[in-house]
Amino acid sequence: MNLSMVSPPEWSDYELLDSGSFEKLERFGAYCLRRPEPQAVWPKALSEGEWSRLAQASFVRDKGRGPGADAGERGSWVLRPGMPQQWFMSYRYGNMLLRFRLGLTAFKHVGLFPEQASNWNYIYDFTSSMKGSRPRVLNLFAYTGGASLAACAAGAEVTHLDSVRQVVTWTRENMEASGLDGIRWMVDDALKFLRREAKRGNLYSGIILDPPAYGRGPEGEKWVLEEGMDELMSLCGRLLEPSRAFVVLNLYSMGYSSLIADNLVRCFFPGPSRVESGELFVPDRAGRRLPLGVFARLER
């Protein structure tokens, strides 16, 4: 077992300036954002005055919301003059240049998870190394598609699946901004899609899974991580090519350790393979490492 702590590679368009007191202060391109962060349990390194001076957009949670999967997550942004609702930033790795359209959403997200950059590099490198026929890569719960873009940039035939049509449209904008083409878009429930693919006998050289703790399919299908994980992983196990293939599994739910991710890929993708698992984190300027999920990567 190879357990590791993985931070994003050097990235001129992104920086975690500070973290603490359940918040994080980040620079995305030319703009600094202040957002809630439940895992930043330590004190801030910078003063409140510095946070207020630097933050051009601050997310404020709605008050008085009832219980639910998104309780405490919805809110609104307070903007300083000159702060746009949307803007672009770039990410470069080797010959890969990705462009992302960012936007201020009501769920505090901006359309990008910078800690995933190390996974993009892995996907790009592995896919680029696959000689012969064009590899097929499936990205499930794909959001705005950094992993899809990385696989596409490496020459893969990519299927990008998410249950929210607006998010898929957002990914298409990112693809076009990155000068890429040919991604297959699917607005569907992940389990329904996987069941159909398994019946058809379709196989993929790469499978990327980023399941949320809770979610809804396009027709209201309910997704709960603990309830759907076994079937999800079992179906993916049937769809992965028997050789020269990879899996990337991300888990964001608090309480899930990298050992869980490691065990899942070993159980559902048996046979000779190499597995790496660990925590994704981003360091701030004071050297504190902010944990932002766990991962497991398997390759045959």
Q: Predicted confidence band at 71 (pLDDT cuts at 50, 70, 90)?
A: very low
What separation in angstroms does the CA of 57 have from each of 20, 83, 92, 206?
17, 7, 25, 37
Ordered by start, the domain boundaries in the chain are 2-299
**pLDDT for 65 beyond 90:** no
Extract the tokens encoding 185. 């878009």
Q: Go through 237-249 and write b for each residue having 16 or more CB atoms within 10 A of its CB, e for each that does not.
A: bebbbeeebbbbb
What separation in angstroms does the CA of 152 have from each of 70, 114, 207?
32, 19, 13
Using alpha carbons, select from 114, 110, 188 the residue that is nearest to residue 146: 114
- Report pLDDT digits (tens) over 204-249: 999 999 998 888 888 888 888 889 999 999 999 999 999 999 999 9
**pLDDT for 66 beyond 50:** no
What separation in angstroms does the CA of 298 have from each of 150, 204, 281?
17, 14, 20
- Its pTM stands at 0.93
- Report pLDDT digits (tens) over 124-177: 999 999 977 899 999 999 998 999 999 999 999 999 999 999 999 999 999 999
Domain 2-299 matching CATH 3.40.640.10: the answer reads: no
Arithmetic mean of pLDDT over the chain: 93
CA distance 260 to 252: 12
